[in-house]
Structure 1
Amino acid sequence: EHRLHYGELNHRANALAHHLISLGVGIDDRVAVMARRGLDTLVAMLAVLKAGAGYVPVDPSHPDERIAYLLTDSAPKVVLTQQALMSRVPETAAPVIAFDRPQWPQRLDNPQVAGLNATHLAYVIYTSGSTGQPKGVMVEHRTFGNLIAWHCQTFDLQAGSHTASVAGFGFDAMAWEVWPALCAGATLHLPPAEVSNEQLDALLDWWIAQPLQVAFLPTPVAEYAFSRNLSHPTLRTLLIGGDRLRQFQRDPGFAVINNYGPTEATVVATSGRLLPDGSLDIGTPIANTRVYLLDEHQQLVPLGVTGELYVAG
């Protein structure tokens, strides 16, 4: 078991951020982070933000073709990866750094990035590309900050709370798991490297053993947990999303919150509690967000009439 305290996280991220700045990284630049889940990866992502840039998560489990496309299309200023993955990084004009083998000055002071504000880039998430090439969605600090503030207030996430991150590295829900926890000073639990998201039984066994109060599971994983009649001794709120929930029949002993949102709307646009044998809806808009159901002429449809969902905020 590995642990990382906030002081060490901050110091390590500061040192890497200063190194990135020395390489010319600045506001609205992209820095690709190709890595497996782990504490070092949290350091790398935080360092990118501290340098004023936006991070681009690249899942090393993806095919070489997709990795090459993401690293070309996002035009990163620097590529951060782990030593064991260096051979997976295709040829690129950007410098490639193994962030788990630090060879840069250990400057511990917080970097000062003049001019950085809420309209600048926080991260870029690529869509699945199911209808063509993956498309990068650029998320600004202002929309992401709204999600973080709503999440911490709505689900009472605070210093001393325990939560987890199990979403895939290139999935936008991972950002939703990680940053509210770190902003609130909560304890974030990460599965061990040997437990992959494809090993559902092992992943859920690990998840149940953690002293979590609020945590996310992708909807298909949650459905599998429900099918096994799994319970959790400390969990009070389970967040689900990423797919349509088909059934929810038994009270699991904690609140189940269904969340909906396209990547372009910064992870979550609507959210609502589900009740066993109740309607399986997507809830209501989150803070500072509005949704409209419109027809082909962009006019509001009457109750009971099918339309297209528009998100604003």
Structure 2
Amino acid sequence: MAQLDEGSTNYHIPLALRLRGVLDRGAWQRSLDRLFARHEALRSVFVAPEGKPWVEVLPPDAGLPVAEHDLRDRPDAEAALLDLCHEEARTPFDVARGPLIRGRLIRMSDEQHVFLLTQHHIVSDGWSMGVLVRELSQLYRAFEAGQDDPLPPLAIQYPDYAAWQRRWLSGERLQSQAQYWRDTLSDAPARLALPTDRPRPAQQSYAGAAVPIVIDADLTRGLKRLSRQHGTTLFMTVLAAWAAVLSRLSGQDDLVIGVPSANRGRGEIEELIGFFVNTLALRLDLSGEPSVSELLERTRRTALAAQEHQDLPFEQVVEIVQPPRHLDHTPLFQ
């Protein structure tokens, strides 16, 4: 995807931290460099000699690049900060040269900084963000106090996981996973026919917006109670409700909904930074006007079966199912 759309920033993972108090600049950089050395995924670059993709790992002492900006004397400091945020978000990565993580430290006053950290999705994911912030905090506290690295050594690295996955996903196991998705998504509707107020553009632009929805404490308690009564998780219950809404809006009783899966089923990889997340295409059946109880049971069965077959990467599922391909919508689900 990065090669097809050079210069794209669609796969950037941004993080912005406000740091309050006196910052030990040396300890901060040392913490970032240690994090960079600790996780091989962050040091991975992707080259393609003669068109064949290959991963190389930068040396541990390469250091995490950090650009510095001082806005202390600027009367328009907040506007300048916003400009820097936009500039950072728009700056592409070179996946062949790397590093695929970079920082900007912006000094707002003697005791306030903003730190922007951008990663390319090819080396990180949402779960990794939690690992990164947690380890960065532990390292900074230790280094600022003059102590050594407090983090236990990692049992494995991302390349170990990749090698294991390649061995594990082969032969009979690969056939079983592939057959499940082939059967489940056979003849699935190519798109969700929502009655939108304008036509879908000929080529999708990925331009969009967020719509915040607040589910208050009372409703959350009710949803949890309903979930317990029907043996579903809160996720399954909300998924069933979402399917009902989409079915009502589209008039379709056969829906495919895309769901992210952390895909960290083994304890050894919980503490790794890397791209593990997978996408599951959940096909939900709302035919026959099911009751709430029946819809929850169907959703539960669908979600559990998909999770049992979550190891096959989504792009391989698309290749196996071979849905109609069009530039105006994503395959299998939107």
Q: Which has the higher strand share?
A: 1
Which of the two has higher C-alpha Rg? 2
TM-score normalized with structure 2 length: 0.28
TM-score normalized with structure 1 length: 0.29
Higher RCO structure, 1 or 2 (CA under 8 Å, sep 6+): 2
